Structure 1
């Protein structure tokens, strides 16, 4: 098929790149894109030398290309990257491809010029994003280093207390006339340090949004009332605590333990901001479709640059402490689907505002929990790879009237089950164990013995037993570390389901 002049002209104008047709160095044809790219009218291009459109550096390259045009045969002679100059003096990076074509009018050079400025801008943007990503990685690494250092510092302090007071207990108990009161006091220090370690672990998990969450419909005013006396003891008598609950406050769906932790952390921060005394106000109200919890103090306040960083882990304006308080608050509130903000003025005070989504559910019937009933000879299979903890759990359960079988891993547990002729009423298993996860063990055991119930133990069960931070339906989990009453209550509840 022969191309008509109209078709050739249409293709020339439809091309997305600039096209110049040259006879020697003289431009004899230019499409609309060339007029746009070079910023000149068509009559300013036609009949002119190509050299007026390029920079001095590009003219050096054109000398070599001119020889190829003069000596070459019809066909493409390659592409070069160069720059063109517009009438306003701006220079644009371009890629120029030239082909030689023999026509009835003689040999012509067809030059296709592609604007590379968009590509250059894209490359610059990529480089900028890479640089920002590197800065972000460096900041995260610095934050992780700060986090690890803070954890190591606090846990070393706690371990130092535990080890030394445990040695005091041993020394006193081994003496010829042991002082029972002194032993009890030292043991209490061990327990207290252990609880501090537990609290720090829960704060870390909450900050990382890995805490085991058990949301329930709550009356926020009641939660505040339940923890009010503890808050008063925490902040000290030199600070006035004012609680202003809003009447008929809608319920929220949250983990009560986490809300209590939020209140305690905010109270501790407020106390440290008011060493000479002041007022701490805790109030609630309805805020559209949310419930607002506001904690305000009349303390020293913070400048804007500090306010911007207060939710970072281990960022602290204090000389001591974990530095996890506000970071934990942020992690807890956002995990509950809420929002948290802070406003502070130096010399005036600080206000932390927490917004939680309202719940349409009904508040549970409140009744005083009773002591868990003792065992009735049920057979429990305890599977835990940590030997000391396995022995502790077995000792507690056996002392409460249960028959206890123990295994250190999933494979050992299945072998024990295969040899056991009687019923196994409950599997009490760690979640993360070498060789076989607790979930797989439970599935295989229940498949072999369908009547066996399951209770998991773990300090970090996500994502094995979790979906989006919430326990999977039907899963019963006892968080580590646990007390004897925690274990006995969880076992009894699971058996009585």
Structure 2
């Protein structure tokens, strides 16, 4: 018997039978509590009082039959019931069993004696029956529950015969996906759910039919709706058995949003990977988690070399600790940091970046990493520096141009009066030496003005087509005297050198300044090398060198083996008045002059140097078209004198008017002096004889020199014209004075220079007529305005 104490309710009106049953349980030492009643009424009361574990009831009782209280089946009864009967009538047995009895017992002494065993067997059977009942109930509930899940699921679900692929069932969600009713789908082949191209061999339908295991299979496909819309889905399929048959259970999940997110992420990933800017992600400790390919291109480090490191391996030591402290303080506070930093590439070179570093937060708002977007601005910074340098030089140039006119006029007066005084004093007089010193100082001042104007590209020049080899060769003797005997001057002329267009005097200036600069860089014995050659610059070279333009050039290089320069010095060497020499050892205008001359002639100059490795200046000048003839040098003749010609001198500055007039009179010219253009015109009207030359200032109040020359030429057609000015080239060029076949001399000038220029103009051959020259000039002006040749 069960170790648990059972409650047995006996319903029997025969006391002897009850006693026999009680003795049998006592004999079996069964753990049973027995309660006996004799009627149906007492049975009902006993059950109401306490529910028994098992009931043993006589079929016939004084107040009725046992079946009257059996209103349930054996499966639904709250306790097992055994019915006792005195007869083994089959009909009665059937009725008893249908009424809900678990079993029946035919009364006999043997049956009473075996009642403990019967009781145990009945109770065991009852337990099994209850378990079966619970299982069935659980199965029913499970079926209801899973049916509800099946029908109410958000994902589409379908059950198809594994062998044929016919749909046995589908839920409402799947019907919505394909825009069809359940009745339309059940019984159809699974292929009705998909577009034709996915139902071929190897398509989704055949793939699932060939899936023979219980393991879940997942693939992506598309559903075809009634309206023809294609819906991307993820299908999770597994083989199941129902009622002995194999089915495929498919779960269809709409992945439209997931696809959109994936595509968005893919686009974002592609954008990040292909971005020109460097993108770096670090954790909150600064350890690099990700870099895009642009990082490799910018820094020289591969992704594998960077990931896992701290960005400090890029530090150039150009930013101090305070810079990084502020950066991290902003990031830790959750702020975005933006700024510029200088980092070091793998090859050791430095580069500048504009960086924006932002915190990245999780769903809870906690900072989990940082993302940096950085743009290499090294080239931009270089261009900005060059622009600032050019603007600075342009400002100095404007300043130089602004003072050049007044300064040149003052110098002209000083030089003129000094020369006049010197001509009236005996050679041995002590004042003569003072006058010579005044003249030399004035000439040096004039040289400084010319250098400033050369730097500003505003000096008046007379470019000629020349052979650079001849120009350099003609300067070698002077250059050797300039650099001294301790320094060897090597000359490497290029073969078949193409001609260039340049003012010969500018070649002298460039060579002298560069060689003096090289000499000063050499301590003791050294070497300076001059070299020329033809070269062609391509787009790749020009991309690396600012201001360079692709084309054919002649180069001139001046190299020395002196002390060299660092980058900081090289960045300033072309600035006017910048010098590394001691006080009184240089004006700081030499290299600025070279720079201005090169730029004025459409060339460009670069310097290559390192500390202790010497320096090379390389100048590129455009080649002149084939067939151009280089000019030959002319020797200076003795100072020519006049032959009694009449010169009309027009100058608004009294000192210049007086000194120039005296110069010309001393050279045997007749001179008419006029302060203004109006006075000059009156003089022409009153003068009875010829006027052979008009020597006039260019810029004057009321009327410029060019306009005056036209007025006078109309009255005296044969008059020659020589213009003079202390203004910069750009100012007088606006007045047509620097055009071809126009004579000009720039202030300040010496008496001998004026004498030669006047003689050259007087002896020059006229154009066909002055009217033709004027017409040609007007035509050129009109062409310049319209852009026509």
* TM-score, scaled to structure 1: 0.64
Does 1:280 pair with 2:528?
yes
Q: 1:256 to 1:469 in 2, by over 3 A?
A: farther
CA distance in 1, matches of 2:514, 2:675: 41
Contact 1:337-1:356 at 8 Å conserved across structures: yes
Q: Is the 8 A contact 2:467 2:497 kept in 1?
A: yes
Shift of 1:460: 2.1
Return the match for 2:575 from 292, 306, 312: 312
Aligned to 1:432, the other structure's residue is in SS state coil
Of the two structures, which has the highest relative contact order with CA contacts closer than 8 Å and spacing of 6 or more? Answer: 1
Q: After TM superposition, list the pairs within 5 Å mapping 1:271-420 onto structure 2.
A: 271-288=519-536, 289-320=552-583, 321-359=586-624, 360=626, 361-371=628-638, 373-420=640-687
Within the candidate set 693, 701, 717, 1:450 is matched to 717
| Contact 1:210 1:462 (C-alpha < 8 Å) held by counterparts | yes
Distance 1:428 1:216 in 2: 25
- In the alignment, the residues of structure 2 paired with residue 412 and residue 282 of structure 1 have an alpha-carbon distance, to the nearest angstrom, of 55
Partner of 2:487: 239
Question: Structure 1 CA distance, aligned partners of 2:533 and 2:733?
Answer: 32
Structure 1 residue matching 2:565: 3-state secondary structure: coil
- Residue ranges of structure 2 left out of the alignment (5+ in a row): 1-259, 265-360, 364-383, 537-551, 765-789
Which SS does the other structure have where 1:341 is aligned?
A: strand
| In 2, Cα distance between equivalents of 1:209 and 1:139 | 13
**What pairs with 1:9-408 in structure 2 (closer than 5 Å)?**
140=392, 144=396, 180=428, 182-288=430-536, 289-320=552-583, 321-359=586-624, 360=626, 361-371=628-638, 373-408=640-675
Cα deviations by residue, 1:30-61 (Å, 9 ceiling, x for unpaired): xxxxx9xxx9xxxxxxxxxxxxxxxxxxxxxx
Q: Secondary structure at the match of 1:211?
A: coil
Change (3 A) 1:371 1:142: closer
Q: 5+ residue gaps in structure 1?
A: 1-34, 40-86, 90-131
SS at match of 1:495: helix
Structure 1 contact 383–430 (Cα < 8 Å) conserved: yes
Alignment partners' CA distance in 2, 1:494 and 1:333? 30
C-alpha contact (below 8 Å) 1:294/1:354 kept by paired residues: yes
Which structure would you say has the larger Rg? 2
* Cα separation, partners in 2 of 1:185 and 1:318, compared to 1, 3 Å: same
RMSD: 3.9
Distance 1:379 1:233, change over 3 A: same
* Alpha-carbon distance in structure 1 between the residues aligned to 2:620 and 2:394: 30
- Rounded to whole Å, the distance in 2 between the matches of 1:200 and 1:280 is 26
1:334-378 Cα distance to aligned partner (Å, 9 max, x none): 111212111111111110001112223112354534335421211
Contact 2:706 2:735 in 1 (8 A): no
Q: Say if 1:216 and 1:254, in contact at 8 Å, map to a contact too.
A: yes
2-structure distance, mates of 1:367, 1:240: 29
Label 1:144 to 1:357 Cα distance change in 2 as closer, same or farther (>3 A). closer
Match of 2:162 in 1: none
Residue pair 1:340, 1:355 contacting (<8 A) in 2 also: yes
SS in 2 for 1:471: coil
Whether the 8 Å CA contact 1:211–1:469 is kept in 2: the answer is no
CA offset digits 1:157-216 (Å, max 9, x no partner): x99xx89xx8xx99xx7xxxx981644433332222222112111111111111112111
- Asked if structure 1 preserves the Cα contact closer than 8 Å seen for 2:553 and 2:623, the reply is yes
> 1:143 and 1:238, CA in 2 relative to 1: closer, same or farther beyond 3 A?
farther
Q: How many residues align?
A: 356
Q: Deviations over 1:84-126 (max 9, x none)?
A: xxx999xxxxxxxxxxxxxxxxxxxxxxxxxxxxxxxxxxxxx
TM (normalized to structure 2)?
0.41
Gap change, CA 1:406 and 1:371, over 3 Å in 2: same
